[in-house]
Amino acid sequence: MPWLLWFTRIIFAISITMASTAVAQTKLLNFEKLSFFEKPLAADLGFTTLVFSGTLESKIFDYSGENGENGTAFDGNYQISALTQLSNRWRLGATYYGEDVDDKYTDKTTISIGGVWGTVMAGNVSDTVREQTRRQPGAGNASLAFDDFIGKTDDSGASYAGRFGPWIVSGYADGEGGVDLGAVYQRPQGTKDYRFTLRTISGAHMASNDLGEPIAYDTVGLGIVGELIYGSSIFDAGFGYERFKSEEEKAKRRFVSVGARNKFDNITISLEGHYGAIEDDEEVSTALGIQYDISRGLSANFGINHSRAKATSSSIRNTDTEETGTILSLRYTF
């Protein structure tokens, strides 16, 4: 439904002119970079609540690499949900999410049922565990490269997430044998708040050798994250281990990512770094992000992202890569 994005772009222009107000929402499908932080528009239809929310971003400056391009773009996404509650207090939901980035349209759908015991979801929900257990994302347009496992599960499957006291447990399984499991423990202590996460994933990675022949790797990953929240500051660190195995090759990957994030009045700043290696072949990345809140739902966002990686002796990464990107954009959510 790309036409909806053109409709929301008109709303975007009117909203900036009139400085219209929007409100906060809970994400279900939207795990993308253009994330919602405002409440959606909602209306009751019989026993069902219809919810509409969206994000629009105008890129003022987008420069990538030493030989990259400097250009502007208009990106956006939207999410439509139908929610209802049964007589036994179980909650039913169906959601459609669409995104148009760099003139490429993608979409996701999911259905869910939930209660005091947690929520079960089916559809495009492969990011359920990662979003529960990952490090805090950077501010503005910061995007830290390599800060995840290389092996992935299939996009479609079923997931579960539930809270039990200070614990949140989650899991995902696809139809190809991929499994993603996670646990989160978070409690305040005095003036501080501590969060610890554990994640394990069994997935796959497709690569090719020097002759261009495909190689399928089975992957197993284990990651932990520790986070400290003190006032308006967040400090975190994540450690990961990943094992690759194919019929011809084996390899191991180890990595660590750290970050700090602070909010001063209406400005949020983050700084992150990553170091890892597949056997002895290194990967390094850094990210600086700044978000300036102009009004409710409207913000200016800036980011500088750098990444560098060596080709691996195995076929997991065949070429040396080095990229630097700088992005300045105006973002509105509703």
Query: Which of these, 87, 84, 60, 63, lies nearest to 72 by C-alpha position?
Result: 60
Whether 274 contacts 285, CB under 8 Å: yes
**pLDDT tens per residue across span 238-291:** 999 999 999 888 999 999 999 999 999 999 999 999 999 999 999 999 999 999
Res 135 pLDDT > 50: yes
pLDDT of residue 237: 98
Res 20 pLDDT > 50: no
Q: What is the four-CA torsion angle of 11, 13, 19, 24, rounded to 10 degrees?
A: 50
Class of domain 3-333: mainly beta
pLDDT-derived band at 39, boundaries 50, 70, 90: low
**15-21-22 Cα angle (round to 5):** 100
Which range among 31-40, 107-116, 201-210, 301-310 shows the weakest confidence by mean pLDDT?
31-40
**pLDDT tens per residue across span 68-119:** 556 667 889 999 999 999 999 999 999 999 998 878 899 999 999 999 999 9
Cα separations in angstroms, 250 against 150, 176, 216, 246: 14, 21, 11, 6
pLDDT-derived band at 24, boundaries 50, 70, 90: very low
- Residue bearing tokens 């207090």: 89
CA Rg, the chain, in Å? Answer: 21
pLDDT of residue 35: 55
Q: How far apart are CA 19 and CA 132, in angstroms?
A: 33
Res 14 pLDDT > 50: no
Map residue 13 onto helix, strand or coil: helix
If you average pLDDT over residues 8-21, what whole number do you get? 38
pLDDT of residue 207: 86
pLDDT of residue 40: 66
Whether 198 contacts 180, CB under 8 Å: no
**pLDDT tens per residue across span 110-129:** 999 999 999 999 999 999 99
**pLDDT tens per residue across span 223-232:** 999 999 999 9
If you average pLDDT over residues 22-28, what whole number do you get? 35
| Largest pairwise CA distance in the chain | 62
% residues pLDDT > 90 (the chain): 63
pTM of the model: 0.84
Q: How far apart are CA 54 and CA 29, in angstroms?
A: 12
Whether 118 contacts 162, CB under 8 Å: yes
**pLDDT tens per residue across span 289-319:** 999 999 888 999 999 999 999 888 778 887 7
Domain ranges for the chain, please list them: 3-333
Whether 29 contacts 110, CB under 8 Å: yes
Q: How far apart are CA 76 and CA 101, in angstroms?
A: 7
The conformational region for residue 177 under phi > 0 = left, psi -120 to 50 = alpha, else beta, is left
195 CB-near residues (< 8 Å, 6+ apart): 184, 185, 186, 225, 226, 227, 228, 229, 236
What percent of the residues of the chain are helix, what percent strand, and what percent coil, each to the nearest 5? 5, 60, 30
DSSP summary character for residue 131 = H
Cβ neighbours, 10 Å, residue 208:
11
Q: Please tell me which residue, 290 or 18, carries the higher pLDDT value.
A: 290
% residues pLDDT > 70 (the chain): 86
**pLDDT tens per residue across span 152-176:** 999 999 999 999 999 999 999 998 8
Q: Please tell me which residue, 20 or 285, carries the higher pLDDT value.
A: 285
Q: How far apart are CA 243 and CA 279, in angstroms?
A: 10
pLDDT of residue 248: 83
The token pair at 26 is 């809970």
pLDDT of residue 192: 92
- Tell me which H or E stretch contains 298: strand 298-309
